[in-house]
Structure 1
Amino acid sequence: MEFIGSSYKGNTKDGRMDGKGEYTFPTDTKYVGEMKDGMFHGKGVLYFPNGSKYEATWENGIVKQGSFTFADGLQYQEKNWDYCNGFDRQFYSERCNGLRPAGDSQMTDLHPPRTIPEGCYDCADGFYDPTTRVITSYSGSFLRNADDSEHEWIVRTCRKAWDEVFITDPEKTVASRSAGNNVT
């Protein structure tokens, strides 16, 4: 396991994980629970570095039933999911604690939001550097390299460390409006 960056603490049988144990992936995600014949088997929980968790029942390494809870305590529901839909865009913390006063609205589920390193994006489980295409956890450890699809999504939708300022040319605006164009 050392060769792939994983580790295991717990019971073994015939040199394989068997019984109760803790398996840590190279990404610092941890599985704590029951094992059988070297696989997740029985009840166990995956703890992710960002604070979220997945509690499940496993059979020979395959999930049979489980539930995901985000780091802020929001539990995912496969059916009748009413969080963050087109009618209600509140953050989970706003649903639990109420909206902040006018002028002090939240930009993320954390208030105040995390400070994003220069040139990077906040992509929910860490910071993304578009130059290196690396996603780093909020604590500073490597999470993953972004593929083209994830890169495009992050650049298009995520909060960035800089503000873009758009300046219009007042003379061009006046000339365009007098010509019948609505350019700003």
Structure 2
Amino acid sequence: MEVTGSTYFGDYVHGRIEGKGRYTLPTETKYNGTMKDGMFHGKGTLYFPNRSKYEGIWDCGISKEGKYTFADGLEFKDKKWHYCDGYDRRFYTEICSGLKPAGISQLTNLDPPRTIPQGCYDCGDGFYNPNTRVVIDYKLRFLRNAGMCFIHLEVLCNI
């Protein structure tokens, strides 16, 4: 645990992580559920820092079936997905709460939208700063150095 930066609170069998527990990864993603031989096994839920979650059935660390729910409550469906398609482009919050009055735009599914630091870009798990080429998380903590994909994006988009 010390090597990976993870933490675990729960059951052990013969000194191994096994049974019910809470496993927290260094990214602040949390798993609540059952473990076997140090791996997710049985029923469990992954809670992501952006408040989305994945509830699933695991077999030796591999998800066999499950359901992903976005932070706003929208459940992902791999078949017949009709959200934000060519026929209905409303955000899920607009579907649930109605459209805003004319002249008040909703630019993201978050209402109110996330505040993006000046000169940065939202990249899904944090903000990318093209000057420093660093991605910081939504709590403004270092997440990672940007790789070549961001540099190519800058060239393509003339950022």
TM-score, normalising length from structure 2? 0.88
SS in 2 for 1:2: coil
Q: 2:15 aligns to what?
A: 15
Tell me the alpha carbon deviations over residues 140-183 of structure 1, each in whole angstroms, 9 at most, x when there is no partner: 233444433356568978xx9xxxxxxxxxxxxxxxxxxxxxxx
SS at structure 2 position matched to 1:28: coil
Query: Matched residues in 1 for 2:82 and 2:130: separation?
Result: 32
Partner of 1:182: none
What SS does the corresponding residue of 1:45 show, helix, strand or coil?
A: strand
Choose 1 or 2 for highest CA Rg: 1
Deviation at residue 107 of structure 1 after TM alignment: 1.0
Aligned amino acid, residue 57 of structure 2: T
Gaps of 5+ in 1: 161-184
User: Is 2:91 the counterpart of 1:91?
Assistant: yes
Report the Cα offset of residue 95 of structure 1: 0.8
Structure 1's 47 and 152: CA in aligned 2 closer, same or farther, altered over 3 A? farther
Cα 1:95–1:64 shift into 2, 3 Å:
same
CA distance in 1, matches of 2:10, 2:155: 42
Q: What per-residue deviation string (whole Å, max 9, x for no partner) do you get for residues 72-122 of structure 1?
A: 111000000001112222111011111101100111122332221111012
2:22/2:30 contact within 8 Å kept: yes
Change (3 A) 1:149 1:44: same
Matched residue, 2:58? 58
Q: How does 1:17-166 map to 2 (within 5 A)?
A: 17-149=17-149, 152=152
State how many pairs are aligned: 158
Deviates more, 1:103-112 or 1:16-25: 103-112
- The equivalent of 1:178 in structure 2 is none
Hey, which bits of structure 1, 4+ residues long, moved more than 4 A? 150-157
Distance verdict in 2 for CA 1:88–1:146, change over 3 Å: farther
Q: Distance in 2 between matches of 1:128 and 1:64?
A: 33
SS at match of 2:3: helix
What is the distance in 1 between the residues matched to 2:51 and 2:122? 16
Structure 2: state its 5+ residue gaps: none
Counterpart-to-counterpart distance in 1, 2:48 and 2:94:
23
Write the letter of the residue equivalent to 1:24: T
- Normalising by the residue count of structure 1, what TM-score does the alignment of the two structures yield? 0.77
Percent identical pairs in the alignment equals: 60
Rounded to whole Å, the distance in 2 between the matches of 1:155 and 1:107 is 25
